[in-house]
Amino acid sequence: MGDQDSIGIRTNIPVIDMQKFPDSGEYEKLKEACEEWGCFRIVNHKIPLTLMSEMKTVVRSLLDLPMEIKNRNTDVIAGSGYMAPTAVNPLYEGLGLYDLGSPLAVRNFCAQLDASPHQNEIIGTYAKAVNDLAIDIGRKLTESVGLFLDLFKDWPCQFRINKYNFTPESVGSSGVQIHTDSGFLTILQDDENVGGLEVMDKYSGQFVPVDPWPGTLLVNLGDLATVWSNGRFCNVKHRVQCKEASIRVSIASFLLGPKGGAIEAPQEFVDSEHPRLYVPVTYEDYRKTRLSTKLQAGEALERIRTPCNS
């Protein structure tokens, strides 16, 4: 699925039209997108375009705050707070909020950054809308493989506001190295003008550029989607490259996993031909494994393999 160039290399990620559900053809496309790419664009989602652009304006101004204010955005869970540029990622910085579904967490985040009541209102509205959309997509994804579960209702969502300080000197270098997301799924509002995001085609190993497409959103599946689906869904490898000398801003919202509960493949995905690949794991434990091993591109899944594949 997706377009191919003249020598058969896939060049475009799939597009899912949210308004076409419950059309069975769209479910089929969604399933294929999850299995073949672990990544797709969504069009005709319910997040108003005005809210998306107002949110971009707000996050740009938060990222422009002085360092001493951004540093007040401290971790709530490991790695959830402000990340300043580092030697490994000198062009990247990000602010973070855990958890989007909690009005109190949103208020705390805004208070730390001295956000105005207007900014607070926009962040709160966006957080609720994206949280609801993540749950809706999660549900459609499970329906696409024939399961009707209310799996995601209480799962926390975290967001990261990413800024890439691209300059003429940095063209050609890396903004964020190759990685997979560790949670279940990610909704990304990428920069409407500045490209640089690339996803890996799992067959060819080649990177495919994800060009900006204003008004749409990108969905990436993470490691826990691979665990839940017993290896059917692809945890897409991706990276951000500096392609042009312009500041790039994106908002990534991660649907992580059940709070404190373990995630495991349902029995429907396990049979003699498809033995259980992974032991049940909580998001928190899996995240610890990723951080302690520094394995960022899905390799940490090997650490939770079922010992005897029963």
Ligand X SMILES: O=C(O)CCC(=O)C(=O)O
Nearest to ligand X by Cβ — which residue? 250
Kindly state the DSSP code that residue 3 receives in the 8-state scheme.
Answer: -
Q: Does 238 bind ligand X (CB under 6 A)?
A: yes
Binding mask 243-282 for ligand X (x = CB under 6 A): -------x-x------------------------------
CB of 248 to ligand X, least distance (A): 7
Torsion of CA 113, 114, 119, 123, to 10 degrees: 40
Cβ 28 to ligand X, closest distance in Å?
A: 27
DSSP three-state, residue 5: coil
* Nearest-angstrom CA–CA distance, 182 and 177: 14
Nearer to ligand X (CB atom), residue 142 or residue 182: 182
Residue type, 272: S
Distance CA 254, CA 187 (A): 6
Q: Residue 16 or 240: which CB sits closer to Fe ion? A: 240
Question: Is 190 one of the binding residues for ligand X (CB under 6 A)?
Answer: yes
CB of 240 to ligand X, least distance (A): 5
SS3 category, 163: strand
| 157: phi then psi, degrees, rounded to nearest 5 | -115, 145
Beta strands in the chain (DSSP E): 15-17, 39-43, 92-98, 157-164, 174-179, 185-189, 197-200, 207-209, 217-221, 238-241, 248-255, 262-263, 281-282
Place of tokens 């498809």: 274
Nearest of 284, 35, 45, 33 to residue 182 by alpha carbon: 284
Tokens 């399961």 belong to which residue?
Answer: 147
Cβ proximity to ligand X, 96 vs 231, nearer residue: 96
Which partner, ligand X, Fe ion, none, binds residue 97 by CB below 5 to 8 Å per kind? none
When CB distances are held under 5 to 8 angstroms depending on the partner's kind, the choice from Fe ion, ligand X, none that residue 197 binds is ligand X
CB of 232 to Fe ion, least distance (A): 20
In the window 144-173, what residues touch ligand X (CB under 6 A)? 160, 162
Cα separation, 281 vs 292, in Å, equals: 16
User: Among 197, 256, 277, 281, which residue interacts with ligand X (rule: CB under 6 A)?
Assistant: 197
Site size toward ligand X (CB under 6 A) is 11
User: What value, to the nearest 5°, has the Cα angle with vertex 41 and ends 134 and 296?
Assistant: 70
Positions in 21-80 near Fe ion (CB under 5 A): none
Contacts with ligand X, 67-106, as mask; x by CB under 6 A: ----------------------------------------
Interface with Fe ion includes 181 (CB under 5 A)? yes
Longest dimension (CA), the chain: 57
Query: DSSP code of 192?
Result: S
Q: How far is the CB of 24 from ligand X (least distance, A)?
A: 31
What character string, x for contact with Fe ion (CB under 5 A) and - otherwise, covers 137-176? Answer: ----------------------------------------
Rounded to the nearest whole angstrom, what is the least distance from the CB of residue 191 to ligand X in the complex?
A: 7
Binding site for Fe ion (CB under 5 A): 181
Binding site for ligand X (CB under 6 A): 160, 162, 176, 181, 188, 190, 197, 238, 240, 250, 252
